[in-house]
Structure 1
């Protein structure tokens, strides 16, 4: 129990940390104000079933259930209202996405203000009959100790946290052998005490407006089926790809703006009529670019306004960053386009290296050349510290701020 909770005698249950706490039940027996589980369950015996039914009838699946705010990586954060049905449907789906079983014990230090962590951690753990291991504030040494002590089997962390865990002072001392639901190529998956063949379901696409995932390949999908794509539509979802200029639906295989509707689509933005957020057919226009192939797989290419137009060609920063983030020594990478007199836009990759990594601009460009077409290789590579970058509440880099930083740095270089 947390310090400050008194359970010595009836009526003494009180805590300044949890001012609304009234009952504590224990599966392993009780003492004082901590009730054994069977006695806790009898509290419902005296409640009239008609009252329960009447209370339940006041809420429908279509009623507002949660309010989340977008991260604001491209614009001012917006309040996004979702219905109970969409939220609960996605929470149950995460059990399947993760191939989670009853042994799911999920560690997370990331707030539930972020819809992705809300869905993955709560859905992945609780819908499988597992449990949550929560850390109020991320601190890497404490996180590793908590995972080891509580025998965590899965972990949810943002990319910048992985490196901090691996660099923690107690990294070599903790026993993380209970971990299973971690990707083999993540720092936790590479820990000396961890042995796992679990596949992280990263081939996915979604938005807060669709309460996270709308296309995905579940954990365990063969690599040749994924083939570098972002999944297939979830049941009930309908997509169309639109010409960004005319709004017309383009033929299968052609690039355009992704639009989607389905059972998890938001009720709308707070303060904005729904008909201003979706089109006449009920589709939400995501602002993201992509296309579907003949196998029904989505190829997501990033924000339309992030697509770089250089030398007459369209370049997806997502494609470049997917390659460069696999380069040893790269901690964080994000590619942007900045104005250029002759090319239209200059492709610039911004990197936060791991401490002590022997990286330079030529090394990164050489690495990229081996896997990318020549016009996609960044013309410039700039290095920054994490403190240089402006992050949103969900640890995304703010694109507009990064572009301004790049322009400022390039302007100081000799002509």
Structure 2
């Protein structure tokens, strides 16, 4: 089979001639990659940046700062305590916490002890928490007790009363059969079997640090390293197990994708229990010697004050948070002049004190299964190279586009389902045999639609179940929303397909107007007609409240819920049938 090649600034991307298959450069040719275990990662960044600040957090009554040396020492402290609790190679350790210093020492301490860090979202309801703990089977759970109005210690006691009555280390629960030790990370006061933090850490006093070193050295890059839970458009959690190698490759890559020139001071309030925030923040920051400016949960006014006080240079915010930041009472007066790593095209980058031309590496595609990106163009890639694509395959990775029904590889340039494999691909879903997840060639079929061009660039067009089939044509909601979001009176645009007897599906765009404006559907459609083919122009425009847009934990709009809402609205208006 003859091959053609597309080129980027760093190397060659191989394209199988005539077929929708693109391969990244060989993994051994990739530059800037360090140790490929999480224990090796934290050891390496400590060796490089020891006395420099690694993270800072502002709590109610104090400010805490950790250097890289502190991060290492605190992680070793946790590792020794975990080993005293019987944690060995492959033991799962749950970390249920917001973005705080102890989250970092909990995850890296688990890695040094040989365990698998199981991150748990603080957004979970009691029922979801129960499901995840049963699914994940962690033996130790490190938890932040108080998160806003939640008391997770009490929630656990309510789920399993024995936790409230048993002594520390004596839990024997049929509801959580593997769980043996629990500790709160934000207090020295425990509850029943849940130990206070200082008491838990004291367990490790008898463990020789050399034993931790030996345990960490025995961990291989191919061993399980982390267990994350992903919620897709359905909101149902899936346990995704990843190897150390996959996670660490991404941690070392993010500084390169960000084109970091000066180590960033990175503000983020989005949970590190999501793989994207974990790898972007920890990789982009710790991997380059920067400092994490931690905020436990998002509060716009507090975030701006924190960014000003800590001279933050990088802002990791979801699009729905931009409007809240701009609406905060201190937005106009805050000094954000240190900010550099914020996409120049985002609303917050227009702040009068910010002056940057930096662009986020947003032309990319990935998911939790690939521990973020498997195709990307780094920040600063010229537009004539990247175009409107979603990047080239990462090193060692292969992307193909297949027929969604038959699995046969599509001819080059034709649309189909995106399938991926590579060194960052997950080890598997919890409870699902790998042969039920991957195809016969080891590819994960993503249920995302798109195509590959002759240069090996991937063009992502959205979830296959979001692709609208109207009047015999396939329409990408992403293309429509990209046009409509440019309208000055549109704050949020989300296009969905609603069942229709005549067309199959009706193209319907749901819009949250900019506050204080009153756009008309006809004007929006006229605006769209200037750039969209007639069959892509929404047949109906529905104006909705932002509260109508239900989202997943990672801020993705639940299109299934929105599709249902749109259908109900149109039916009530007599527009369907």
Fold conserved between structures, TM > 0.5 = yes
Q: Verify: 1:162 aligned to 2:332, yes or no.
A: no
Q: Report the alpha carbon displacement of residue 329 of structure 1 after superposing the two structures with TM.
A: 2.8
Which position in structure 2 is the counterpart of 1:366? 526
Which position in structure 2 is the counterpart of 1:382? 542
Partner of 2:237, secondary structure, is coil
Identify the match of residue 20 of structure 1 among 197, 207, 211. Answer: 197
For the residues of structure 2 that align with 1:191 and 1:154, how far apart are their CA atoms? 14
CA RMSD of aligned residues (A): 2.3
Q: Verify: 1:67 aligned to 2:237, yes or no.
A: no
Which position in structure 2 is the counterpart of 1:27? none
Identify the match of residue 232 of structure 1 among 387, 392, 400. Answer: 392
Asked if 2 retains the 8 angstrom alpha-carbon contact of 1:330 and 1:351, the reply is: yes
What CA deviation, in whole Å up to 9, does each residue of 1:354-410 have, x standing for no partner?
211232211211111111111111111111111112111111111111111001111
Identify the match of residue 200 of structure 1 among 353, 356, 360. Answer: 360
For the residues of structure 2 that align with 1:395 and 1:21, how far apart are their CA atoms? 35
Q: Verify: 1:315 aligned to 2:485, yes or no.
A: no
What CA deviation, in whole Å up to 9, does each residue of 1:55-103 have, x standing for no partner?
2233111111111112231462211111111001101100011112343
Which position in structure 2 is the counterpart of 1:130? 290
Q: Verify: 1:191 aligned to 2:361, yes or no.
A: no
Which position in structure 2 is the counterpart of 1:271? 431
For the residues of structure 2 that align with 1:209 and 1:381, how far apart are their CA atoms? 35
For the residues of structure 2 that align with 1:15 and 1:52, how far apart are their CA atoms? 21
Partner of 2:349, secondary structure, is coil
Asked if 1 retains the 8 angstrom alpha-carbon contact of 2:369 and 2:425, the reply is: yes
What CA deviation, in whole Å up to 9, does each residue of 1:118-154 have, x standing for no partner?
1111111111110111111211111111100100000
For the residues of structure 2 that align with 1:21 and 1:193, how far apart are their CA atoms? 43
For the residues of structure 2 that align with 1:374 and 1:242, how far apart are their CA atoms? 28
What CA deviation, in whole Å up to 9, does each residue of 1:302-361 have, x standing for no partner?
111111011111101111111112222322211100111111100001111221123221
Partner of 1:245, secondary structure, is coil
For the residues of structure 1 that align with 2:234 and 2:290, how far apart are their CA atoms? 36
Identify the match of residue 90 of structure 1 among 250, 253, 277. Answer: 250
Write out aligned runs for 1:270-309 (5 A): 270-309=430-469
* Alignment CA distance shift 1:167-1:2 (3 Å): closer
Write out aligned runs for 1:95-114 (5 A): 95-114=255-274
Q: Which deviates more, 283-292 or 391-400?
A: 391-400
Return the structure number with greater relative CO, CA threshold 8 A, min gap 6: 2
Write out aligned runs for 1:245-260 (5 A): 245-260=405-420
For the residues of structure 1 that align with 2:499 and 2:292, how far apart are their CA atoms? 47
What CA deviation, in whole Å up to 9, does each residue of 1:161-216 have, x standing for no partner?
00110111111110000000011121221000000011111100001111110000
For the residues of structure 2 that align with 1:297 and 1:229, how far apart are their CA atoms? 6
For the residues of structure 2 that align with 1:58 and 1:357, how far apart are their CA atoms? 61
Partner of 2:450, secondary structure, is strand
Partner of 1:351, secondary structure, is strand
Structure 2: segments with no counterpart, 5+ residues: 1-57, 65-183, 189-195, 200-204
* Alignment CA distance shift 1:21-1:191 (3 Å): farther
Which position in structure 2 is the counterpart of 1:30? none
TM-score (norm 1): 0.88
* Alignment CA distance shift 1:118-1:329 (3 Å): farther
Q: Report the alpha carbon displacement of residue 4 of structure 1 after superposing the two structures with TM.
A: 7.3
* Alignment CA distance shift 1:362-1:4 (3 Å): closer
TM-score (norm 2): 0.64
Which position in structure 1 is the counterpart of 2:557? 397
* Alignment CA distance shift 1:90-1:382 (3 Å): same
* Alignment CA distance shift 1:21-1:131 (3 Å): farther
